[in-house]
A = this chain, B = another copy of it.
Amino acid sequence: MAEPVTRGIRPATEEAVFAATLDALADRGYGALTIEGVAARSGVAKTTIYRWWPSKAALVIDAIAPVFASVNPVAPEAGSDLRADLQAAVRRVVDGFQHRLEGIVLAGLVADLARDPETAAAYRERIVRPRREAVTRLLEAWQARGRIRPDADLDLVQDLYVGPIYYRSLVTGAPVDDGFGDALVDAILAHVALPAGEGG
């Protein structure tokens, strides 16, 4: 009945490793992060880290997932204004790239995802899905109110703003700011929005 006394890694060890990982990421970025370095920073033996995480990418995903979850409190309920709701969702992503872990971590992490399907799956599950689900619920609420076309592809909608933000950040280096975010919202609404019904 009782939980096992210890289940896998000891909480204190895990905590130390996560702290060291986030520290190192903030310091030097994903590319410069090494397991060796995390071991040194955390005081945890390299062996131990290898026992619980199969790769640097997996470690980083585990370390940042709780941070991402708590820092971006995701869209709560549908508000009174479709455009405003969507802008808020987009700005969260924009913010992440402007001054948070996200920009630092993503480029390198993405490269590793391409090489390891399991880690890619973990990334989607731990980082991508929670956010998308919240947004999907929001969009569904607006769909239910008749303000978004019933046949609209809600995944596509999200790709339409997340994709360009990633792309500018990682590839073109063009500015990613609220103005850009709002332009993306305009484009999306032109595609999927319906006018406010008169009878509703």
Contacts and interface: CB of A to CB of B under 8 A. Distances in A.
A2 interface: no
B167 A29 contact: no
Nearest to A129: B172
Contacts of A84: none
A156 B170 CA distance: 16
Nearest to A188: B187
B108 A114 contact: yes
User: At the interface, is chain A mostly helix, strand, loop or mixed?
Assistant: helix
A107 B166 CA distance: 12
Interface stretch (A13-21, A44-52, A73-81, A157-165): A157-165
Contacts of A191: 186-187, 190-191
Interface in A116-137: 120, 123-124, 128
A124 B174 CA distance: 11
A173 interface: yes
Contacts of A183: 153, 156
A158 to B, nearest CB: 9
Given A163-B167, A191-B186, A113 B107 contact: yes
